[in-house]
C-alpha cells in the first residue's frame, strides 16, 4: 500500500499530475468539530495527552476533506515538557514554560532517553491512527527543531524576534550549546519512537529558523537537522523526513543536500518559480500557498492554487500552505482549494 500513497510517491521523487495535498495545522481551531472535541478534553495540553481525543481531531479533517496525509495532533513543546520543564497554555495567548537560562535550570532536565514514559500517549495516538486512517492516507509524525524549541525554553514563551535565545547564545555559548544538544538528542529519540508507533513520514518544524543568520544558521538550524536526520536514517532508512526551516530565504538552497532531508517545505515568502529554479532541481518541495487565502477565498484562491500547481508540475511536489492555517480560516475555502487542485 505504501507505493500507492500519493504523499510517499512524491517523497520518493515521483512527479504526479495532481500532487498530494495536506495542510499544516489541518486539525485545529478553524473546524467546529475540533473546538467541540477540545472542549471535551478541557484544555489544549489535556487534548495532546489524551490519545483517543488526539486521534479523533487528527481524523476530523481527513473525514471532512480527504487530505492525502494526516499529521498527528500534538505540539512542538511536548519535548521540553517531557524533559522536565513546566508547560502550560494561556487561553488566547499561547504557551508558557518555566525558563531554562542557567546551568542550574539545565541540570533539572532529564536525559534524552528518559522522555518516553511521559510521551507514551503520543505514541499511542499514532498507533490508533495507524489502525483507523484510510488505507490511502499517509501518517505524518513531527517535532519542533532544536533551535525553535530552545527559543521557547529560554524565553518561557513565544517572542517576536527570539531575542532571549540570541542573547543567551552570545553570553553563555556553553549553556546554549548544551540546550541545543539535549534537544537534538531528545528529538532523535522522540521521532524514532513515533516511527516505531506507525509514522510513515516525519517532519521537523524550525519555525524561527529565519532569525538565524550566517554561521548561526549553519550551526543551529542546519547542523542539528543534519544530526537528527542522520540518526533517524541509520535506524529507519526507508522513512522520509520533511524539513521546514521557515523563512530561511537563500538558506533553503542546498539545505536538503546538506541535511539529508527528503523534502524541503517552503514558506510563502519565497516564490514558487524561485523554488523550482533553486530547490526542486534536487529534492521534493512542499508548499507554498499563503494561509491568508484560506480566509479570503474566491477567485484569487483558485488562481493561486492553479499557478502553484502548474509552476511545480515538472518536479516532485506536495501541495501545502506556507505556514499553518489560521483560526479565522473558512472551511469552505479549504474545500475549494482541494477541489481546485484536483479538478481545476
329 has pLDDT over 90: yes
Half-sphere exposure of 93 (CA within 13 A, CB side): 9
Q: How confident is the model at residue 3 (pLDDT cuts 50, 70, 90)?
A: low
Which of 155, 72, 156 has the alpha carbon at shortest distance from 119? 72
pTM as predicted: 0.98
What percent of the chain is predicted at pLDDT more than 70?
99
Catalytic status, residue 35: no
Catalytic option among 30, 34, 68, 75: 75
Q: Look up residue 15 and give its three cell numbers.
A: 512527479
Report how far residue 267's alpha carbon sits from residue 211's, in angstroms, rounded to the nearest whole number: 14
Which of 186, 273, 264, 258 has the alpha carbon at shortest distance from 222? 258
Catalytic status, residue 63: no
Catalytic option among 25, 182, 246, 309: 25
Domains along the chain? 2-343 (3.20.20.210)
Report how far residue 294's alpha carbon sits from residue 138's, in angstroms, rounded to the nearest whole number: 23
Catalytic status, residue 226: no
What percent of the chain is predicted at pLDDT more than 90?
98
Catalytic option among 30, 49, 123, 152: 152
- Span 232-256, pLDDT tens digits: 999 999 999 999 999 999 999 999 9
Strand partners, 21: 319
Structure confidence at residue 256 (pLDDT): 98
Structure confidence at residue 341 (pLDDT): 98
Catalytic option among 29, 64, 157, 342: 29
Catalytic status, residue 29: yes
2 has pLDDT over 90: no
Q: Which long-range contacts (CB under 8 A, 24 or more apart) does 23-26 make?
A: 23/61, 23/67, 23/320, 23/321, 23/325, 23/334, 24/71, 24/320, 24/321, 24/323, 24/324, 24/325, 25/324, 25/325, 26/61, 26/65, 26/67, 26/70, 26/71, 26/325
- Span 199-233, pLDDT tens digits: 999 999 999 999 999 999 999 999 999 999 999 99
Q: What is the mean pLDDT of residues 79-100?
A: 95
Catalytic option among 14, 35, 38, 96: 38
Q: What is the mean pLDDT of residues 108-118?
A: 98
Catalytic status, residue 277: no
Amino acid at each position: 500500500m505504501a507505493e500507492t500513497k500519493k504523499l510517499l510517491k512524491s517523497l520518493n521523487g515521483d512527479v504526479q499530475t495532481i500532487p498530494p495535498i495536506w495542510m499544516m495545522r489541518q486539525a485545529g481551531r478553524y473546524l467546529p468539530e475540533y473546538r467541540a472535541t477540545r472542549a471535551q478534553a478541557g484544555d489544549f495540553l489535556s487534548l495532546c495527552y489524551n490519545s483517543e481525543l488526539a486521534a479523533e481531531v487528527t481524523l476530523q479533517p481527513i473525514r471532512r476533506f480527504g487530505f492525502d496525509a494526516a499529521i498527528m495532533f500534538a505540539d512542538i513543546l511536548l519535548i521540553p515538557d517531557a524533559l522536565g520543564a513546566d508547560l502550560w497554555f494561556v487561553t488566547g495567548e499561547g504557551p508558557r514554560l518555566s525558563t531554562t537560562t542557567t546551568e542550574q535550570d539545565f541540570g533539572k532536565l532529564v536525559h534524552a532517553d528518559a522522555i518516553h514514559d511521559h510521551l507514551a500517549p503520543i505514541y499511542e495516538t499514532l498507533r490508533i491512527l495507524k489502525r483507523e486512517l484510510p488505507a490511502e492516507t499517509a501518517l505524518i509524525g513531527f517535532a519542533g527543531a532544536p533551535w525553535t524549541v530552545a527559543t521557547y525554553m529560554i524565553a518561557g514563551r513565544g517572542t517576536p524576534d527570539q531575542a532571549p535565545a540570541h542573547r543567551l547564545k552570545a553570553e553563555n555559548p556553553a549553556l546554549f550549546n548544551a540546550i541545543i544538544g539535549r534537544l537534538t538528542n531528545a528529538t532523535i529519540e522522540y521521532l524514532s519512537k513515533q516511527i516505531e508507533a506507525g509514522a510513515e513520514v516525519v517532519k521537523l518544524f524550525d519555525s524561527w529558523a529565519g532569525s538565524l543568520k550566517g554561521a548561526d544558521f549553519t550551526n543551529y538550524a542546519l547542523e542539528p537537522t543534519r544530526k537528527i536526520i542522520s540518526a533517524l536514517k541509520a535506524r529507519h532508512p526507508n522513512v522520509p523526513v520533511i524539513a521546514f526551516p521557515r523563512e530561511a530565504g537563500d538558506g533553503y538552497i542546498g539545505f536538503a543536500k546538506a541535511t539529508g532531508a527528503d523534502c524541503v517545505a517552503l514558506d510563502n515568502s519565497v516564490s514558487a518559480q524561485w523554488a523550482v529554479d533553486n530547490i526542486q532541481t534536487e529534492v521534493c518541495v512542499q508548499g507554498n500557498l499563503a494561509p491568508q487565502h484560506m480566509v479570503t477565498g474566491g477567485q484569487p484562491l483558485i488562481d493561486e492554487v492553479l499557478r502553484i500547481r502548474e509552476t511545480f508540475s515538472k518536479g516532485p511536489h506536495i501541495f501545502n500552505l506556507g505556514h499553518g492555517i489560521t483560526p479565522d480560516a473558512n472551511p469552505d475555502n479549504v474545500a475549494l482549494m482541494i477541489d481546485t487542485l484536483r479538478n481545476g
